């Protein structure tokens, strides 16, 4: 028998072994994960730390020290003694403090509506785009806010002067009675005029910024529906301005009940009208630095802060109820 030919066997393939590839070090190699995470978590507090330190040192510490002083009283015999809430009880029954609080409340009712209406009017006029020289008007309305309140009070005190003031001189020239802006009857409106002149521009900027944040799509949709400028202002702009108006109103509450610089400077011109207890802030200042009653002045200051909180909350609550009704 002849041998059957066998098929040729394929050549054995060499076995390839993968060589070990050297590991490429990652950018984070040698850097612990926990350390990088801790650095990222520390960056934020480091940026906030200067503000927190100043806030604690210049606000919380003096506030706590004032609260500490308010529960003590210094007597001629016996020295400083703990009296609890006795200073607060005395302040609640103090007729000078109650008269001062009622006076600044009247000031708030007289001055704040006029100031906010003027600020709203200027803001709407600037936002309408129909006002000529809008940048000049905006700067002119805002400039009085840049004037320090001390300078503003001195300037208006000169204008109000019954002897050498321009209003008095003009009245004499035309043979009219001299206006008595610093009299007891006109002192509160005169103060309201000074504060209004100072803060109309500040409130105008807040309201104008809120108007610029309203989406233009709302204006375009209203124009397509045939709404005019007055309708857009009433139905779109004023409802959108409600949060900004509430903010300015709360700021006005705080500023009205903390009225100090203007009556303190006008007191030199009309000492028989503006006494040391004309406003609660002026009363607390006089108690602390003139009468040296630091403990009682601290209690008066805390009660004034409580009044401001209550009035601000009442204003916000009333406005929210009207907006939801």
pLDDT in tens, the chain (325 residues): 444 444 455 444 544 444 454 555 555 555 554 455 566 677 778 888 999 999 999 989 988 998 999 998 887 676 778 888 999 999 999 999 999 999 999 999 999 999 999 999 999 999 887 788 888 989 999 999 999 999 999 999 999 988 888 988 898 888 888 888 998 899 999 999 999 999 999 999 999 999 988 888 888 888 887 777 788 888 888 888 888 999 999 999 999 999 999 999 999 889 999 999 999 999 999 999 988 889 999 999 999 999 999 988 888 888 777 766 6
Superfamily of domain 94-148+199-324: MetI-like (1.10.3720.10)
Residue in 120, 131, 140, 125 with CA at minimum distance from that of residue 203: 120
Residues in the chain: 325
Place of tokens 């020290």: 65
Burial class (CB in 10 A: 0-12, 13-18, 19+), 275: middle
212 Cβ contact list (under 8 Å, min separation 6): 127
Q: How many CB atoms lie within 10 A of CB 87?
A: 23
**Residue 183 DSSP class:** S
Q: Which pLDDT value is given to residue 280?
A: 94
In the chain, domain spans: 44-82, 94-148+199-324
The CA-based dihedral angle spanning residues 97, 99, 100, 101, taken in that order and rounded to the nearest 10 degrees: 90
Q: Please tell me the distance from the alpha carbon of residue 232 to that of residue 186, in angstroms, as a whole number.
A: 39
Q: Which pLDDT value is given to residue 1?
A: 45
Expressed in percent and rounded to 5, the helix, strand and coil fractions of the chain are: 70, 0, 30
The continuous run of DSSP H or E covering 81 comes out as strand 79-82
């Amino acid at each position: 028998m002849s041998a059957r030919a066998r098929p040729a066997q394929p050549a054995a393939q060499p076995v390839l072994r993968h060589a070990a590839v050297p590991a490429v070090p990652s950018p984070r190699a040698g850097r612990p994960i926990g350390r990088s995470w801790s650095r990222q978590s520390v960056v934020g507090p480091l940026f906030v730390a200067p503000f927190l330190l100043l806030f604690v040192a210049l606000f919380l510490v003096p506030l706590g020290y004032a609260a500490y002083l308010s529960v003590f009283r210094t007597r001629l015999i016996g020295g400083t003694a703990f009296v609890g809430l006795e200073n607060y009880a005395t302040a609640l029954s103090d007729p000078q403090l109650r008269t001062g609080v009622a006076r600044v409340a009247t000031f708030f009712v007289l001055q704040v509506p006029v100031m906010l209406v003027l600020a709203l009017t200027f803001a709407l006029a600037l936002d309408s785009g129909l006002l000529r020289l809008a940048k000049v008007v905006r700067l002119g309305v805002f400039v009085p806010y840049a004037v320090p309140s001390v300078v503003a009070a001195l300037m208006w005190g000169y204008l109000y002067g019954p002897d050498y003031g321009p209003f008095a001189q003009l009245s004499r020239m035309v043979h009219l009675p001299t206006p008595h802006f610093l009299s007891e009857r006109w002192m509160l409106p005169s103060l309201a005029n000074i504060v209004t002149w100072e803060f109309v521009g500040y409130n105008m900027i807040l309201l104008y910024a809120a108007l610029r944040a309203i989406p233009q799509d709302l204006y375009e949709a209203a124009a397509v529906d045939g709404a005019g400028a007055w309708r857009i202002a009433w139905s779109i702009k004023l409802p959108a301005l409600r949060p900004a108006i509430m903010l300015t109103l709360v700021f006005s509450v705080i500023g009205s009940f903390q009225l100090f610089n203007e009556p303190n400077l006008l007191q030199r011109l009309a000492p028989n009208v503006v006494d040391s207890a004309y406003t609660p802030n002026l009363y607390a200042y006089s108690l602390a630095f003139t009468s040296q009653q630091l403990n009682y002045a601290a209690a008066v200051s805390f009660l004034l802060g409580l009044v401001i909180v209550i009035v601000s909350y009442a204003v916000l609550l009333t406005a929210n109820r009207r907006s939801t009704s």
